[in-house]
Structure 1
């Protein structure tokens, strides 16, 4: 008989799994199921259904609910000077230096170069991480840049129309001037490309090199007032919004 190292599925009542995931009390979850507002693996759930919380794909009112308690979803405000790796062979400050109390092994979604700062997502959900990084899903990223000013009026139009770079054309989805202080301008760019140094290269090509670059959003997740070097756990609503952004 072949030896199977796979642990047996941990099957539990659906309302208990939903309650453990923070959807509501067991009674409230039973009500959601009875009102046909819950689906499991694409079919409408029924009272009495049992599921394996580590593998079931569960939606409530069309919003994904993560029921595998081993999965971790974090936001980090990466400070300037920190390299986007979990450990650095040169001994530089790396992402893992800010994850003191995180027990699970997590991975960063995408990169920010050492001179850039702002939002990084960290997770051990490989499927979601892959979708967030894959260009075919087109998840937008928002950046706030300080550049040399003043800015001519046509800069935004040029960036939206497309700029030719050495590795092919690139364009932004949105552009606006946030503030102007003497010879420094603050601009916000939204783009869904992930090529290396893409924001810096775009701004340099239109004649306004970036002196400071902060990523303020990845899809629906915003940096907000998270302080540099701090992490926070994403809320259930934020996790659901991320899955929605990648069609999950």
Structure 2
């Protein structure tokens, strides 16, 4: 939906759906449902269009009769275990990352995803602008993974990964690849990528003729797992948020 004309200078305009999600009330899917059911008013009038433009400096938005209040921006680092989905709910009843972050006390959105069989670092936040910057390919925030491949990988295969491999959605960007160790049958690698496609690491390894048996995201930008226990979360420091391109005044 195009933004309305803006003849009086720059104004802070956001869709009603986005206003609710940024207020930390729930996901954008939740927001659309609440708006459609008539629970949201703008300047006293029920609005059922989730794409209705709201002037953040002039309009008054209420939810169930209560005005929206600014919420503190929260930035969480979670060490996700395998077996947890990066989604709000699952029709099959499988556990999700929200089961692990229930103690945060406000709605958080995952920044990117880790698939069911991948463990490691996941940032969650209620700052949607920050989340969009962190996932924007133009910002190229590096993400580091350690993996166990199902076969021994030759120097040629590793060089392919470094230069980029052809996937169904195009060639990958050059990657930093480090051989960590080898056993009789397996190769352990560390990969650092500056892009984030769906199941990219697994598909890259398959493209050179092997498979991933174990995958852990060990770092996002300069932030590493450190002593964070698996299944636990902590609040990112202001310095860490800034290092990922977040606001200075956290």
| TM-score (norm: length of structure 2) | 0.69
Listed one character per residue, the Cα deviations across residues 66-116 of structure 1 (whole Å, up to 9, x for unaligned) are xx9711111111111111112223211001100131111110000011011
**Misfit runs of 4+, over 4 Å:** none
Aligned to 2:204: 202
Aligned to 2:132: 130
Aligned to 2:29: none
- In the TM superposition, residue 148 of structure 1 has moved relative to its aligned partner by 2.3
Give the secondary structure class of the aligned counterpart of 1:82: coil
Aligned to 1:216: 218
Choose which of 240, 243, 247 in structure 2 pairs with 1:241: 243
Aligned to 1:158: 160
Aligned to 1:231: 233
User: Which runs of no fewer than 5 residues in structure 2 stay unpaired?
Assistant: 1-42, 45-58, 63-68
Change in Cα spacing, 1:122 to 1:244, as seen in structure 2 (3 Å) is closer
Change in Cα spacing, 1:71 to 1:91, as seen in structure 2 (3 Å) is same
- In the TM superposition, residue 236 of structure 1 has moved relative to its aligned partner by 1.9
Aligned to 2:60: 5
Choose which of 83, 86, 89 in structure 2 pairs with 1:84: 86
Answer yes or no: is the 8 Å Cα contact 2:111–2:131 preserved in 1.
yes
- In the TM superposition, residue 6 of structure 1 has moved relative to its aligned partner by 6.9
Answer yes or no: is the 8 Å Cα contact 2:173–2:194 preserved in 1.
no
Say what the alpha-carbon RMSD is for the aligned residues: 2.2
Aligned pairs for 1:170-189 (under 5 A) are 170-189=172-191
Residue 109 (structure 2) pairs with residue 107 (structure 1):
yes
Answer yes or no: is the 8 Å Cα contact 2:130–2:246 preserved in 1.
no
- In the TM superposition, residue 193 of structure 1 has moved relative to its aligned partner by 1.7
Answer yes or no: is the 8 Å Cα contact 2:151–2:211 preserved in 1.
no
Give the secondary structure class of the aligned counterpart of 2:123: strand
- In the TM superposition, residue 211 of structure 1 has moved relative to its aligned partner by 0.2
- In the TM superposition, residue 176 of structure 1 has moved relative to its aligned partner by 0.5
Give the secondary structure class of the aligned counterpart of 1:160: helix
